[in-house]
Amino acid sequence: MDYTVRVEVEVTADSPEEAAKYALDDLRDKTIGPVTMEVTCEHGKKTVSVGDPDGDEPEVIYLTSATGEETGYGKIELNDAAYAKVAFEQGPGCVLPYIVEIDGIAHVLGNLEVAHKDVFWGEDGGDFQSEDETRAYCQAACDYIRTRLTSGMQLLSLDEGMPGRIIVRVAIELDGLSDSEATSKALRQAFGEMAELPDVVPAT
Protein backbone atom coordinates (compact mmCIF):
# COMPACT_ATOMS: atom_id res chain seq x y z
CA MET A 1 0.00 0.00 0.00
CA ASP A 2 1.30 3.47 -0.88
CA TYR A 3 1.30 6.24 1.74
CA THR A 4 1.90 9.98 1.61
CA VAL A 5 3.52 11.31 4.80
CA ARG A 6 3.59 15.01 5.66
CA VAL A 7 5.42 16.51 8.63
CA GLU A 8 5.94 20.09 9.78
CA VAL A 9 9.23 21.05 11.44
CA GLU A 10 9.80 24.52 12.87
CA VAL A 11 13.38 25.79 12.63
CA THR A 12 15.21 29.12 12.78
CA ALA A 13 17.51 29.73 9.82
CA ASP A 14 18.95 32.45 7.56
CA SER A 15 17.85 30.94 4.25
CA PRO A 16 15.40 28.41 2.80
CA GLU A 17 18.28 26.05 2.06
CA GLU A 18 19.56 26.30 5.62
CA ALA A 19 16.04 25.77 6.99
CA ALA A 20 15.65 22.61 4.92
CA LYS A 21 18.99 21.29 6.17
CA TYR A 22 18.09 22.00 9.81
CA ALA A 23 14.70 20.32 9.40
CA LEU A 24 16.34 17.21 7.92
CA ASP A 25 18.85 17.13 10.78
CA ASP A 26 16.00 17.31 13.31
CA LEU A 27 14.16 14.41 11.68
CA ARG A 28 17.33 12.30 11.83
CA ASP A 29 17.91 13.11 15.50
CA LYS A 30 16.47 10.19 17.52
CA THR A 31 16.63 12.22 20.74
CA ILE A 32 13.95 14.57 19.39
CA GLY A 33 10.41 13.30 19.59
CA PRO A 34 7.73 12.34 19.34
CA VAL A 35 7.20 13.78 15.84
CA THR A 36 3.61 14.22 14.64
CA MET A 37 2.97 13.30 11.00
CA GLU A 38 -0.07 13.30 8.74
CA VAL A 39 -0.32 9.98 6.90
CA THR A 40 -2.63 9.60 3.90
CA CYS A 41 -3.47 6.51 1.86
CA GLU A 42 -6.31 5.47 -0.40
CA HIS A 43 -8.42 4.55 2.65
CA GLY A 44 -8.18 7.90 4.39
CA LYS A 45 -6.01 10.17 6.50
CA LYS A 46 -4.58 9.73 9.98
CA THR A 47 -2.36 11.79 12.28
CA VAL A 48 0.24 9.71 14.14
CA SER A 49 3.16 10.39 16.45
CA VAL A 50 6.41 8.49 16.13
CA GLY A 51 9.55 8.51 18.24
CA ASP A 52 10.15 8.35 21.96
CA PRO A 53 10.15 11.65 23.87
CA ASP A 54 13.01 10.47 26.07
CA GLY A 55 15.02 9.10 23.17
CA ASP A 56 15.18 5.68 24.86
CA GLU A 57 13.01 3.69 22.45
CA PRO A 58 15.22 1.54 20.21
CA GLU A 59 14.80 1.58 16.44
CA VAL A 60 13.11 -1.57 15.17
CA ILE A 61 14.22 -2.66 11.68
CA TYR A 62 12.11 -5.39 10.12
CA LEU A 63 14.35 -8.04 8.54
CA THR A 64 11.39 -10.21 7.48
CA SER A 65 7.72 -9.83 6.71
CA ALA A 66 5.04 -11.69 8.65
CA THR A 67 5.32 -14.50 6.08
CA GLY A 68 9.10 -14.83 6.53
CA GLU A 69 10.19 -13.05 3.36
CA GLU A 70 13.35 -10.94 3.49
CA THR A 71 12.74 -7.18 3.48
CA GLY A 72 16.25 -6.13 2.42
CA TYR A 73 16.50 -3.75 5.38
CA GLY A 74 19.02 -3.76 8.21
CA LYS A 75 22.64 -4.86 8.41
CA ILE A 76 22.18 -8.36 9.77
CA GLU A 77 22.34 -11.25 7.30
CA LEU A 78 20.06 -14.08 8.36
CA ASN A 79 21.03 -17.70 7.75
CA ASP A 80 18.86 -20.81 7.53
CA ALA A 81 19.35 -21.49 11.24
CA ALA A 82 17.86 -18.09 12.11
CA TYR A 83 14.82 -18.64 9.90
CA ALA A 84 14.32 -22.09 11.43
CA LYS A 85 13.80 -20.48 14.82
CA VAL A 86 10.56 -18.77 13.79
CA ALA A 87 7.28 -20.40 12.75
CA PHE A 88 5.92 -17.51 10.72
CA GLU A 89 2.13 -17.00 10.69
CA GLN A 90 1.67 -19.68 13.36
CA GLY A 91 1.09 -17.61 16.47
CA PRO A 92 0.81 -18.30 19.30
CA GLY A 93 -2.82 -17.24 19.02
CA CYS A 94 -3.19 -13.92 17.21
CA VAL A 95 0.48 -12.97 17.66
CA LEU A 96 2.42 -12.41 14.42
CA PRO A 97 6.16 -13.18 14.75
CA TYR A 98 8.81 -11.34 12.72
CA ILE A 99 12.61 -11.24 12.76
CA VAL A 100 13.86 -7.71 13.41
CA GLU A 101 17.08 -5.88 14.18
CA ILE A 102 17.32 -3.84 17.38
CA ASP A 103 20.59 -2.13 18.29
CA GLY A 104 22.45 -4.40 15.87
CA ILE A 105 21.07 -7.60 17.42
CA ALA A 106 18.58 -10.00 15.82
CA HIS A 107 15.32 -10.40 17.73
CA VAL A 108 12.03 -12.18 17.29
CA LEU A 109 9.29 -9.56 17.45
CA GLY A 110 5.82 -10.69 18.48
CA ASN A 111 3.15 -8.29 17.22
CA LEU A 112 -0.38 -8.41 18.62
CA GLU A 113 -2.55 -6.23 16.39
CA VAL A 114 -5.75 -4.88 17.93
CA ALA A 115 -8.14 -3.32 15.42
CA HIS A 116 -10.29 -0.26 16.15
CA LYS A 117 -12.96 1.64 14.27
CA ASP A 118 -11.42 3.44 11.32
CA VAL A 119 -12.30 4.31 7.73
CA PHE A 120 -9.53 1.90 6.74
CA TRP A 121 -11.85 -1.05 7.48
CA GLY A 122 -14.89 0.38 5.71
CA GLU A 123 -18.16 -1.28 6.71
CA ASP A 124 -16.27 -4.21 8.24
CA GLY A 125 -15.08 -2.04 11.14
CA GLY A 126 -18.50 -1.46 12.64
CA ASP A 127 -18.03 -3.99 15.42
CA PHE A 128 -14.64 -2.68 16.55
CA GLN A 129 -14.17 -0.48 19.60
CA SER A 130 -13.20 3.17 19.32
CA GLU A 131 -9.55 4.12 19.02
CA ASP A 132 -9.47 5.46 22.60
CA GLU A 133 -11.05 2.28 23.98
CA THR A 134 -8.63 0.15 22.01
CA ARG A 135 -5.65 2.16 23.25
CA ALA A 136 -6.79 1.69 26.86
CA TYR A 137 -7.18 -2.05 26.20
CA CYS A 138 -3.65 -2.24 24.76
CA GLN A 139 -2.17 -0.28 27.65
CA ALA A 140 -3.82 -2.68 30.09
CA ALA A 141 -2.45 -5.57 28.01
CA CYS A 142 1.04 -4.09 28.35
CA ASP A 143 0.63 -3.95 32.13
CA TYR A 144 -0.34 -7.63 32.10
CA ILE A 145 2.52 -8.64 29.77
CA ARG A 146 5.09 -6.65 31.75
CA THR A 147 4.60 -8.98 34.74
CA ARG A 148 5.30 -12.04 32.56
CA LEU A 149 8.58 -11.00 30.94
CA THR A 150 11.73 -12.99 31.61
CA SER A 151 15.39 -12.45 30.75
CA GLY A 152 16.01 -11.46 27.12
CA MET A 153 12.46 -10.14 26.60
CA GLN A 154 11.61 -6.49 26.00
CA LEU A 155 8.18 -4.84 25.93
CA LEU A 156 8.23 -2.05 23.37
CA SER A 157 5.93 0.95 23.19
CA LEU A 158 2.59 0.65 21.41
CA ASP A 159 2.89 0.99 17.64
CA GLU A 160 0.17 3.25 16.22
CA GLY A 161 1.76 3.83 12.85
CA MET A 162 -0.63 1.62 10.86
CA PRO A 163 -4.21 2.66 10.07
CA GLY A 164 -7.06 1.04 11.97
CA ARG A 165 -5.00 -0.80 14.56
CA ILE A 166 -2.73 -0.50 17.59
CA ILE A 167 0.06 -3.04 17.99
CA VAL A 168 1.38 -4.50 21.25
CA ARG A 169 5.00 -5.58 20.73
CA VAL A 170 7.42 -7.88 22.55
CA ALA A 171 10.99 -8.43 21.34
CA ILE A 172 13.07 -11.49 22.30
CA GLU A 173 16.75 -11.95 21.47
CA LEU A 174 17.08 -14.57 18.74
CA ASP A 175 20.37 -16.02 20.02
CA GLY A 176 18.62 -17.09 23.23
CA LEU A 177 16.16 -19.29 21.32
CA SER A 178 17.07 -22.79 20.16
CA ASP A 179 14.31 -23.54 17.64
CA SER A 180 10.80 -22.58 16.53
CA GLU A 181 9.23 -24.48 19.41
CA ALA A 182 11.30 -22.51 21.92
CA THR A 183 10.31 -19.28 20.16
CA SER A 184 6.61 -20.10 20.31
CA LYS A 185 6.94 -21.06 23.97
CA ALA A 186 8.71 -17.77 24.76
CA LEU A 187 6.05 -15.71 22.96
CA ARG A 188 3.33 -17.61 24.81
CA GLN A 189 5.12 -16.88 28.07
CA ALA A 190 5.22 -13.18 27.26
CA PHE A 191 1.69 -12.70 25.94
CA GLY A 192 -0.10 -15.32 28.02
CA GLU A 193 -3.88 -15.14 27.60
CA MET A 194 -3.53 -11.91 25.62
CA ALA A 195 -2.33 -13.95 22.63
CA GLU A 196 -5.99 -14.91 22.06
CA LEU A 197 -7.24 -11.29 22.20
CA PRO A 198 -9.79 -11.84 24.99
CA ASP A 199 -12.67 -9.42 25.46
CA VAL A 200 -11.28 -8.50 28.88
CA VAL A 201 -7.60 -8.14 29.75
CA PRO A 202 -6.58 -10.81 32.29
CA ALA A 203 -5.85 -9.63 35.81
CA THR A 204 -2.18 -9.24 36.70
CATH number, domain of 148, equals 3.30.1360
Is residue 64 domain-shared with residue 136, that is, in the same domain? Answer: yes
Is residue 46 domain-shared with residue 84, that is, in the same domain? Answer: no
DSSP state of 192: G
Q: How many domains does the chain have?
A: 2
pLDDT of 43 above 70: no
Is residue 42 domain-shared with residue 133, that is, in the same domain? Answer: no
In a domain, 27, yes or no: yes
Helix (H, G, I), strand (E, B) or coil at 196: helix
In which domain, by residue range, is 29 found?
4-50
In angstroms, the CA 177 to CA 175 distance is: 5
Identify the H or E element spanning 99: strand 96-102
More confident of the two residues 121 and 85: 85
Is residue 29 domain-shared with residue 93, that is, in the same domain? Answer: no
pTM of the model: 0.73
More confident of the two residues 93 and 15: 93
Is residue 164 domain-shared with residue 76, that is, in the same domain? Answer: yes
In angstroms, the CA 58 to CA 101 distance is: 10
Is residue 101 domain-shared with residue 168, that is, in the same domain? Answer: yes
In Å, how far are 8, 18, 34 from 30, measured between CA atoms? 16, 20, 9
In a domain, 154, yes or no: yes
> What is the average pLDDT value for the chain, to the nearest integer?
87
Mean pLDDT, residues 171-176 taken together: 96
- For residue 139, the number of C-alpha atoms closer than 13 Å in the C-beta half-sphere is 6
Cα-to-chain-centroid distance, residue 115: 14
In a domain, 203, yes or no: no
- pLDDT of 11: 77
Helix (H, G, I), strand (E, B) or coil at 191: helix
